[in-house]
Amino acid sequence: MTINHLTDRPKFSMQRRRAVTGLWFMAPGLLVVLAVTIFPILYSIYMGFNTISLTTHGFHFHWNGLGNYRLLLSSSLFRYAIVFTLVYALVTVLVELVLGMMTALVLQRMAWGRPALLALLLLPWSLITVISAEMWGYIYNGVYGALDAILLEFGIIHKPIVWLGFAKLAIASTMFADVWKTMPFVAILLLAGLEMVPVDVIEAAHMDGASNWHVFWRIILPLIRPTMSLAILFRVLQAFGLFDLPFVLTGGGPGTATESIAVLGYQVMFQDLNFGPGAAVASSTTVVVLIIALAFLWVFRGMAEEGVA
Amino acid sequence: MTKPIGIVVCGAGLLAIISGCGPGVAPGPAPSKKPAAVHKTKAKKAAFVTIDWAASPITQTGTRQHMISAFEKAHPGIRVKLTTMSTNTDTTRAELTTEIEGGSKTPDVYMGDVIWPAQFGHSGLAVPLSDHLPKSFFSRFAPGLAAGASYHGKVYGAPFFMDAGLLYYRKDLLTKASLPVPKTWQQLVSDSKALEAKHLVKYGYVWEGAAYEGLTCVLMEFLGDQGAKVLNAAGNKVLLNSSASDKAVSFMRSLITSGVSPQAVTTYQEPDAMNAFDAGDAAFMRNWDYAWSNSQTKGTKVVGKVGVEPMPAFAGTTEPGYSCIGGWDLYVNPHSAHLAQDLTFVEWMTGAAGQKLLADKYSEIPTNAAVQKNPAVKKLNPVLSIVPKLRLIARPSGTPIYPMISQALYQNVNAALTGQVSPKAAITRASQQILTDLKGHGL
């Protein structure tokens, strides 16, 4: 924030003029955002307050107040989906952060071969989720799966395990596939953060007799906190929209063990054609995601200012 | 208030946001999209009309085009443009409903699941064919099929081809072990155990047990065999919570715990069961009609070793056991600009010429009664000779909320199959869910 000390008038009005010009240039982009993001969100929220019936002549809206939301809260499917998605986001992001940090630290210290390894790491991240989910489906297959074949070969297990056939195992397997895919993204973000930590500060700390452990906890970690927050924010938002991985890998099963909010929303809206409750599912996620995002931005801004000061 | 388009864009858009642009979100409607051929037609002063037919692949990818060519030859005034849909029925439904509810004029005709008439009729997604076609038209179909495609007294789908659950078995293995073809479930279990004990085969019986629509079909067969029902005839009362249902699900679970079926069947859809069977790893398989032509394909390990029979029944009950009805209907888009041509197309596809082609060349079970009974057709398609023997059972799809009922069934029963909950608990929970759904308080 560099505005505070610029208070003399001519500069201010010039700045304002510039801002107005800027706004004009931004207008087309803003309009697109308005059309494809803001409008659908507001419309969905409106839909969520209605009972919607579909006829040959289109949709009919009947105001239903909080009826759809009461329906959601009374549904064990919705409550489970919320808990599952929250736990899923928490666990995967935490694991990705720890593994990502470890990977980033190793990458930073690599004397040679770093570009090659970076490219390799990006491979899972660049794969389309639907494709990698299909691939994991083959790996986890309970009869012909590669994972079972390897474990059997080495005598670690004695009969094939159906990885996606038990609730807890299926959840863990889905989480593993997610970590495999997105950990590199976190690692690369963190690596960028690590690269920005001034070398002289670390050298000075070492000269003062600080151990590696101390340097990491007291110097490196605080300095890359903004990068970390950003990585966490990205990942939490993505984890909350969890759809393609369980949709392809487990179809939400076994039972409803891996049914995320987005999978449930898809089912209610596009399979059951229950547009009111479906919109309420979607809106409720939007609200939760917005709250998380705003909370993070707030914390992040605090940290950034702290970092600058 | 009428909102034909915005809502779809909106729903799809929002889901795309929360899902990180997942694959399941169908594209929004494209009201301005018209087949190029239409413009050409106008230029040539309407030498022919082009209609758009949306259909998933049938057996092989060439089937539909072959039928289209034959139709165009018979009706030179109509051209048909084929739009390929997903082989996953739920994905196809999501795509079609998004387009049609958005007011799109295309597809003009679409191929849809037999369980859709109530939901689609209720939501105005299909033309009531009985309003436009004479009563005599529907007498061409095998008994019960037109009734199955009806909702509130109107027929919404023209039955296109039929499917039913069948028992496939390995002739060679049964001969080797001198075992009979099982007519009862008890016998299937003992045959399986005997074959497994002699190390002739890895697994006894493979079927579809994943949490999806296919499990509802399998469940319906076992429920029928035990004399259990999901709903009453009027479709407004839940009858599922009974000891007969409990027995049915307990038996399904016992197939897994006894090792007759691999634990992995709880993740199996049709292709998974077929893979295990075609690889020679299973003695018995429950699958649809098309599995026959698949098992006859050169390159699979089981060519010439496969037999097919109606489903087994529980010992002491009427044989054979129940086969769930599947298959596909032809529906007409209410926004289509070419209703007359659409009906001509539907008429031809369900008529003798179209149906014979489908049965002869692609071993599908025709819906046209005359073709079904035709000895020449029967000779070419061995599955057809069993069709008259089958005892058919339909899913409770007479209500627009059928998808919710099916979800309640397959999600809870799948949980019981994996051992998460007891069969009794699964039945109780599914019943409660269906009851809530019927009251309009379900999700």
Residue A304 binned pLDDT confidence (cut-offs 50, 70, 90) = low
Residue B164, amino acid: A
Residue A11 binned pLDDT confidence (cut-offs 50, 70, 90) = low
Q: Kindly report the backbone phi and psi dihedral angles of residue A53, in degrees, each rounded to the nearest multiple of 5, phi listed first.
A: -110, 145
Q: Which residue has the higher pLDDT, A227 or A8?
A: A227
**Would you state the structure tokens that stand for residue B113, as one six-digit string?**
């699941």
For an interface test with A, the pick among B8, B17, B18, B213 (most A C-beta atoms closer than 10 Å) comes out as: B18
Shared domain for A94 and A115, answered yes or no, is: yes
How many domains are contained in chain A?
Answer: 2
Shared domain for A230 and A145, answered yes or no, is: yes
Compare all CA atoms of chain A with the CA of B408 and give the residue at the minimum distance. Answer: A255
Q: What is the pLDDT of residue A9?
A: 56
Shared domain for A145 and A38, answered yes or no, is: no
Give the residue among A236, A254, A256, A255 at the shortest CA–CA distance from A140: A254
How many angstroms separate the CA of residue B338 from the nearest CA in chain A? Answer: 16
Contact list in B for residue A167 (CB cut-off 8 A) is 415, 418, 420
Whether residue A3 lies inside any domain: the answer is no
Shared domain for A187 and A260, answered yes or no, is: yes
Shared domain for A58 and A164, answered yes or no, is: no
Residues 378-407, chain B, touching A (beta carbon < 8 A): 401, 403-404, 407
Whether residue A242 lies inside any domain: the answer is yes
Q: Which residue has the higher pLDDT, B121 or A2?
A: B121
Whether residue A76 lies inside any domain: the answer is yes
Q: What is the pLDDT of residue B60?
A: 67
Per the structure, the complete domain to which residue A148 belongs is given by 72-308
Q: What is the pLDDT of residue B91?
A: 87
Compare all CA atoms of chain B with the CA of A70 and give the residue at the minimum distance. Answer: B441
Residues 61-80, chain A, touching B (beta carbon < 8 A): 61, 71-72, 74-75, 77-78
Buried b (16+ CB within 10 A) or exposed e, A34-63: eeeeeebbebbbebbbbbbebeeebbebee
DSSP letter, residue B131:
G
Q: Which residue has the higher pLDDT, A3 or A88?
A: A88
Quote the mean pLDDT of chain B. Answer: 87
Q: Tell me the CA distances in angstroms from B411 to A211, B87, B214, B302, B405, one per residue in order.
A: 54, 21, 11, 33, 10
Mean pLDDT of all residues in A43-68: 90
Whether residue A267 lies inside any domain: the answer is yes
d(CA A143, CA A149): 9
Question: Do A44 and B15 touch, CB atoms closer than 8 A?
Answer: no
Residue A163 binned pLDDT confidence (cut-offs 50, 70, 90) = very high
Q: What is the pLDDT of residue B26?
A: 35
Compute CA A213 distance to the chain's CA centroid, rounded to the nearest angstrom: 29
- Last-in-domain residue among A24, A44, A63: A63
Assess whether pLDDT exceeds 90 at residue A68. yes
Q: Which domains does chain B have, with CATH numbers?
A: 29-163+327-388 (3.40.190.10), 164-324+396-438 (3.40.190.10)
Q: Which residue has the higher pLDDT, A191 or B144?
A: A191
State pLDDT tens for residues B238-259. 999 999 999 999 999 999 999 9
Q: Kindly report the backbone phi and psi dihedral angles of residue B85, in degrees, each rounded to the nearest multiple of 5, phi listed first.
A: -105, 175
State pLDDT tens for residues A170-179. 999 999 999 9
Shared domain for A82 and A45, answered yes or no, is: no
State pLDDT tens for residues B213-224. 999 999 999 999
Residues 234-263, chain B, touching A (beta carbon < 8 A): 262-263
Question: Do B255 and B199 touch, CB atoms closer than 8 A?
Answer: no
For an interface test with A, the pick among B5, B10, B404, B432 (most A C-beta atoms closer than 10 Å) comes out as: B10
Q: What is the pLDDT of residue A10?
A: 59
Of B24, B124, B401, the CB nearest to A247: B24
Compare all CA atoms of chain B with the CA of A41 and give the residue at the minimum distance. Answer: B14
Shared domain for A291 and A164, answered yes or no, is: yes
State pLDDT tens for residues A12-25. 678 888 888 888 99
For an interface test with A, the pick among B1, B17, B92, B116 (most A C-beta atoms closer than 10 Å) comes out as: B17
Whether residue A2 lies inside any domain: the answer is no
Mean pLDDT of all residues in B329-343: 96
Mean pLDDT of all residues in B34-44: 45
Shared domain for A144 and A233, answered yes or no, is: yes
Q: What is the pLDDT of residue A45?
A: 92
Lowest mean pLDDT among A125-134, A146-155, B16-25: B16-25
Report yes or no: A191 at the B interface, CB cutoff 8 Å.
Answer: no
Quote the mean pLDDT of chain A. Answer: 88
Q: What is the pLDDT of residue A69?
A: 93
State pLDDT tens for residues B388-422. 899 999 999 999 999 999 999 999 999 999 999 99
Whether residue A51 lies inside any domain: the answer is yes
Shared domain for A176 and A257, answered yes or no, is: yes
Shared domain for A190 and A262, answered yes or no, is: yes
Compare all CA atoms of chain A with the CA of B93 and give the residue at the minimum distance. Answer: A271
CA angle B13, B17, B23 (to 5 degrees): 80
Report yes or no: B211 at the A interface, CB cutoff 8 Å.
Answer: yes
Report yes or no: B19 at the A interface, CB cutoff 8 Å.
Answer: yes
For an interface test with B, the pick among A272, A287, A289, A290 (most B C-beta atoms closer than 10 Å) comes out as: A272
Q: What is the pLDDT of residue A18?
A: 85
Query: Across B96-237, where does the E strand assignment appear?
Result: 109-113, 150-151, 154-155, 158-164, 166-170, 203-206
State pLDDT tens for residues B40-86. 444 445 689 999 999 998 876 688 999 999 999 999 999 999 999 98
Question: Residue A240 is part of a domain; what is its CATH number?
Answer: 1.10.3720.10
Whether residue A281 lies inside any domain: the answer is yes
Q: What is the pLDDT of residue B300?
A: 77
Assess whether pLDDT exceeds 80 at residue A157. yes
Helix-, strand-, coil-residue percentages of chain B, each rounded to 5:
45, 15, 35
Assess whether pLDDT exceeds 50 at residue B181. yes
Q: What is the pLDDT of residue B116?
A: 96
Q: What is the pLDDT of residue B16?
A: 39
Of B9, B15, B415, the CB nearest to A255: B415
Shared domain for A164 and A296, answered yes or no, is: yes
Contact list in B for residue A164 (CB cut-off 8 A) is 267
Q: Which residue has the higher pLDDT, B198 or B382?
A: B198
Q: What is the pLDDT of residue B354?
A: 95
Q: Tell me the CA distances in angstroms from B136 to A241, B89, B371, one per residue in order.
A: 52, 30, 17
Of B11, B26, B420, the CB nearest to A44: B11
Shared domain for A266 and A178, answered yes or no, is: yes
Assess whether pLDDT exceeds 80 at residue B29. no
d(CA A228, CA A296): 11
Task: Rank A59-73, B2-16, B30-44 by mean pLDDT and report only the highest.
Answer: A59-73
Assess whether pLDDT exceeds 50 at residue A1. no
Of A41, A160, A271, the CB nearest to B14: A41
DSSP letter, residue A155:
T
Whether residue A141 lies inside any domain: the answer is yes
Beta strands B158-164 and B322-332 are antiparallel
